[in-house]
Structure 1
Amino acid sequence: MKTYCLEVRGDFACFTRPEMKVERVSYDVITPSAARAVFDAILWKPPIRWRVTRIEVLAPIRWINLRRNELGGVVSKQNVRTAMKNGKGHLGVYIEDDRQQRAGLFLRDVRYRLHAHFELLNKSEGPEKYAEMFQRRACKGQCFSRPYLGCREFSADFRLVEPGASEPAPIDEIRDLGWMLYDLDYRNPDSPSPRFFQARMKNGVIEVPSWDSEEVRG
């Protein structure tokens, strides 16, 4: 099982804590789900699933307060279902009628090395095809959608880190990050449930447990 490594960086990031209901407050570092989304942005296929195994923090953890305009709601699922059933419907959202100004505590000048491998959901296929696709796209800086750091407006730059390459060491910091969002469990697509793990950063490195580990709790 080959592990791939990406270096990602961005000017701003927000990995929102789910316990914050109104104002956005970020975790101290990128979450496994946000890291997985970076790999998905480069190569997403129904037969594979990315698993993040390690996160290395390369830049000091810095914060910034920002106030932004956001929408107070989204188009309801019921309206979407009705429009799909009838072949027509009104799904527009009028920004001026639903605009809200909210403050947020975000990260700035972030830089990470993310380690992950993919699992085959369809055991009848071999991994070579998907491995070659990811390697080719990551080397060229290609992606299906622009990777982002928690919020879509916080886009990320990435590059593939080759095995054995000489790279800078992670930050020299030890920190207990508390309970962190691992990812969402989509076994019930209509109501995905969050799963968490106790995250600890040691010398800038966070070891991510496997999905079925006892350390991951729903």
Structure 2
Amino acid sequence: MSISDLVSVAALILSIISFYKSNESDKITKRWEVYKENVRQKEVDEQNYYSKNNSRVSLIPYFHLSFNKKIDTKNIGNEEHFILPISLINLGRESATNIRLEPIIQDGGIENYFKTGDLQKNIHFVYEYLNMQYAFPGVSIDFSVCCKKHGTAYDVFFKIRFNDLIGRTYEQEFRFQYCFTVTNEFSMNHTSSLPICIEDSDRTSKPISSV
């Protein structure tokens, strides 16, 4: 094989290598562009989601834990019990209706409205149910919880459901903490989660049925 043939073969090999590298580079560039577009679209979608939900939260009923009374003790069935007075204030700009405690766990078919820390068995129960099933903006609703007297610090979880004025249904979760051996007041370590819309149907749009 002559030198010119070797040069031609080398040039062909270099051309193939160059084409391959160029093709791979184009593929990488295209994949990168697709990735960037996907990320951009995801950011846009997330921004739209949070913008929509922040706007909605500013208008819907929104409850916050409030502790205006101290923890009390009472003898029930010859045993000392804690009575925990709980208040929920509507900080939203819209009224809430049909407010009710929602079972948080099912235990043998029995409705349990509370979950206590990591305990498998529930030890907290409703003592006095919600005093109202509706709440205008700025209005509080009250209920109380009881449990046998103990010396442990517990986190207690519960949730409520309610409707807005056009019939949409929301669920909201709460957590409070107390330790009676330290103080008869509730801990400042508590949370009121944002309400979640679980049924987004406008019942005002339904025709009124004739009698």
- TM-score band, normalised by shorter chain: under 0.3
TM-score, structure 1 length as denominator?
0.25
Query: Comparing both structures, which one devotes a greater share of its residues to helix?
Result: 2
TM-score, structure 2 length as denominator?
0.25
From the CA coordinates, give the structure whose radius of gyration is larger: 2
Query: Comparing both structures, which one devotes a greater share of its residues to strand?
Result: 1
Higher relative contact order (CA 8 A, sep 6+): 1
